[in-house]
Every structure is written in C-alpha cells, then in structure tokens.
Chain A
Amino acid sequence: MNDLASLLDLSFAWEYRHLLIRGLMVNIQVFAMSAAIAVLLGLVLASAMLRGPGWSRGLTTGFAEFMRNIPEYVLIIWMFIALPFLLTRLTGTRISFGAMPTAVVALGLVFSAYFAETFRAGFQATSPGQTEAAAALGMMPRQITGRILIPQVLLRLAPEMLNVSISLFKTTSILSLIGIQDVMYQASTMSGQLTRPVPIYTGAAIMFVGTIIIASLVVRLITAKLHERMN
C-alpha cells in the first residue's frame, strides 16, 4: 500500500502544475477558436439544410455526413502532412501549414457538422403555433424572433450544444500528436524526463475530467436559471 501511495504520489503532479496548466491553456485556446468556427459554420450549414435551394441541401448534407464519418485524427494528419504536399505539387511552390491553424480548422470543420445537426433539429422543433400566437398578440416579427424563438431554441439546444462542446474539448487532447504543446505534450515530455508516468499522466487525466465536469456544472446552472426565469 505504501508502494502504491508513493507511485501515485499526486503531489508530484502538483509540483509541476504550472507546466500542465500552461498545456491546458493551449487546449482551451484551440477549443475556443475551433468552437467559434464550428458554431458559425454550423449555423450556416443548418440554414442551408433547412432553407437553401435543392443543390445546397444535398451539398451541405453530404459535407456534414463526410465530416462526421472521418476520424478526427486522420483528418488532422491528412491536413497537416498530406495537404501541404498536394498543394506544393499543384502550385510548384513550397507550402506548409502551422500546427495550430491546421488543428483549429480541422476541428472546426468536423464539429461544424455536429453543431449543424443540433441547430437543424432545434429549428425544426419550434412549433409554428408560437409564431402565430405572438403575431396575434401584436408582436413584431423581430420581437418574435428575438424574444420568443431564439430563447426557446437556445434553451432547448443547451444540453446538446454542451455535449458537442465537451466532445470538441476532449478531441483537443490529440493536439500533441502534431507537435502542439498541450497538456498531453507537457505530460509526455515530463514523464520522459522524470520517469514518473503514474502521477503525471493521472494528473493530466484529472485536468481533463475536472475541466469537463466544472464546465458542464456551470452550463447546467446557467440553463436552470434561465429556465426558472422563463417559466
């Protein structure tokens, strides 16, 4: 038991916390940038799926299907290693991408497909009766959209958007595989130098689990508050 305690000695991870936290900041940064791309692109895709002309519906549905079926790691490697090679060959000039922009764009593309699905379902589920009732009460179209539809859609979508965001954050754990200095990069460098994999990798795992649990609690709290205010 003593051996186990000294093996697992998490104070070791605590001692090097600034490195792990610096790594976590990189994860959060990539998460925020790719989430922004994913949400915006997801909105565009969802409105194209619902309101666009026939060809744009087929195109966006195909794009979303493709992005949901390609493993993130395969896409990131392909965009980081194979795509610059292709462009170099096509243009004749040497082209290479930075690891960070590649990761942000790749994750943004993949998760735009998941957000698009979420938004599409959310907009479809709003009943037309609500719009009619609001109009009958003399509300302006802009008021109807802003005060009746959007709050409901957002509230209804909050749990699903939280789930997609959690998957996105979890996926940022593979950033180290193309050399980005995230939590796992710091952890593997440290455990290589200090030969103490147990506390360091356990500390890294706890950082992910902790961040996800805290973020979900905060989002759940906010949605509960909003629900209270609306009803």
Chain B
Amino acid sequence: MDVFFRSVVPALPLFFEGMLVTLQLCAIGFFGGVVVGAILTFLGFLSPPTRWLSVAIVEFFRATPVYVGLVWVAYVWPELFGWPGTAYEAACVALVMQTGAYLSETFRGGILAISKGQREAASALGISPTAAAVRIVLPQVLINSIPPLINQLVVVFKSSTVVSVIGVQDLLFQANAVANKYYEPLEPLTFVALIYIAIITLVSVSARGIEKRLRARFQ
C-alpha cells in the first residue's frame, strides 16, 4: 500500500494522459475501421476487379497478427509510400486497417443474410433497387451489425495495447515508464491491468445487453 502511494498516486496525471491517448486511438481505429469496412464491402459488391482487390486487402489484414501489421505499417509503409510519418499515425492506420478488414466481413455477411425474397418483394411493389438497398436492406444490416460492432470495439481495445512497442505513449506505455522509474513494477502494472479489464468488461457486458434487447425487439 505504501508503494502504491509512492509510485501510482504521483503518476496519476501520467496515467490519465496515457488513458486519453488510448481512448483517442481506439476511437479513431474503430470509427475509421467502420468507414474502411463499409468501403471494402462496397468494393466487394461493385465489380469483379474491385472484388478481388477488396478480398486481397481483407484477407491480408485478417490473417496478419495486429502486432505484425503495426510494425509493418510503421516501418515498411514510410519507405514504400513515404507515409505515415509518426508512430501515432502508424498506430492509427494499423488499427483502422485491421478493424476495417474484420468489419467488412461482418457487413458482407449481414448483407448476404437478408433474403433475396425481400428485394424481390420490394421490386414487385415498384420500389427501385437503390431505394430497396437504402430503405430495406441497409437498416436491417445496421441493426444486425450492432452486436458484432461492439465486439469489434473490444478487439480494438485489446489490440491497442501493443502500440507502446513502436513508442506511442498510451496507457500501457505510461505504466511501463512508471514501473521503470521507481523500480516497482507490481503496483503500476496491476493498476493499469485493472483499468483495461474494467473498460473491456464494461464494453463486452453492454454488448451482450444490447444484443439481448435487440433480439427481444426484432423477433
């Protein structure tokens, strides 16, 4: 307890700063991933060549471990494309691509799960294909995607812990810094581990709650 007050309490502002970086990174990774996932899904349905492009990107980022993807984006992309310039940008890009690849599979599955009969019924009622896609298929896909989306948020949080390796000053980075500063790893690491568990448990429990409520409403 003594060590706790000596090493963790004075470092609280640092932890708070790290927490903000983690939250920011996860928000960018998640929402950017939703956009990239939607684009990849759209490309997948557009035409055969774009479909191959989308499948290649999705399969590559789904099969690459997040840490490998992170290091690859951080050290290989700058030499190939001259971008991203900073570790933070690289972390954002890696998380966005990873999340986008997973979500594109979710969206694609969601679209395919809407039965063809619904589109046929819409066209029988004289609704144009575009209107049917926007007003009939899309809302259902979005509602069905909510639980997997929140689960993906859990994955983003867990993945974000490796960004400290390339020097991004997130929550875990600060925990290690504090541990090295005082030569007391136990309290800061335990404290930060508990914060991660609390956040992720909160997200995954609320995911299950929302899923249950949606099921109750739509079935």
Query: Are A74 and B179 closer than 8 Å at their CB atoms?
Result: no
A174 vs B68: C-alpha distance in the bound complex, in angstroms?
8
A173 vs B162: C-alpha distance in the bound complex, in angstroms?
11
A77 vs B162: C-alpha distance in the bound complex, in angstroms?
11
> In the complex, how many angstroms separate the beta carbon of A76 from the nearest chain B beta carbon?
10
Q: A69-B201, A77-B189, A81-B185 are in contact. Are A209 and B60 (CB under 8 A)?
A: yes
Closest to A210 in B: B63
For A33, list chain B residues within 8 Å (CB): none
**Majority-rule SS of B interface residues:** helix
Name the interface residues of A170-186: CB closer than 8 Å to any CB of B: 170-174, 177, 184
Please tell me which one of the listed residues A7, A71, A197, A208 contacts residue B196 in the complex, with CB atoms under 8 A apart.
Answer: A71
Q: A65-B201, A174-B67, A197-B76 are in contact. Are A72 and B185 (CB under 8 A)?
A: no
A136 CB-CB contact with B under 8 Å? no
A4 vs B81: C-alpha distance in the bound complex, in angstroms?
9
For A145, list chain B residues within 8 Å (CB): none
Interface stretch, picked from A42-50, A82-90, A92-100, A118-126, is A82-90
Query: Are A202 and B72 closer than 8 Å at their CB atoms?
Result: yes
Q: A78-B193, A86-B186 are in contact. Are A209 and B63 (CB under 8 A)?
A: yes
For A77, list chain B residues within 8 Å (CB): 172, 176, 189
Query: Are B75 and A85 closer than 8 Å at their CB atoms?
Result: no
Q: A70-B193, A212-B63 are in contact. Are A85 and B185 (CB under 8 A)?
A: yes
For A4, list chain B residues within 8 Å (CB): 80
Interface size class of B (residues with CB under 8 A): 35 or more
Closest to B199 in A: A69
Query: Are B204 and A68 closer than 8 Å at their CB atoms?
Result: yes
Query: Are B72 and A201 closer than 8 Å at their CB atoms?
Result: yes
Write the B55-75 contact mask toward A (1 if CB under 8 angstroms, else 0). Answer: 000001001111111011001
Query: Which of B64, B66, B67 is the most central at the interface, judged by chain A CB atoms within 10 Å of its CB?
Result: B67
Interface size on A, residues (CB 8 A): 41
Query: Are B64 and A205 closer than 8 Å at their CB atoms?
Result: yes
A158 vs B179: C-alpha distance in the bound complex, in angstroms?
43
Query: Are A74 and B193 closer than 8 Å at their CB atoms?
Result: yes
Query: Are A209 and B64 closer than 8 Å at their CB atoms?
Result: yes
Q: A-contacting residues of B (Cβ < 8 Å)? A: 60, 63-69, 71-72, 75-76, 79-80, 154, 157-159, 161-162, 165, 172, 176, 179, 184-186, 189-190, 192-193, 196-197, 200-201, 204
Q: B-contacting residues of A (Cβ < 8 Å)? A: 4, 7-8, 65-66, 68-75, 77-78, 81-82, 85-86, 89, 166, 170-174, 177, 184, 187-188, 191, 197-198, 201-202, 204-205, 208-209, 212-213
A-B contact pairs, 13 of them (CB 8 A): A8-B80, A71-B161, A71-B200, A81-B185, A173-B68, A184-B67, A184-B68, A191-B75, A201-B71, A201-B72, A205-B69, A212-B63, A213-B63
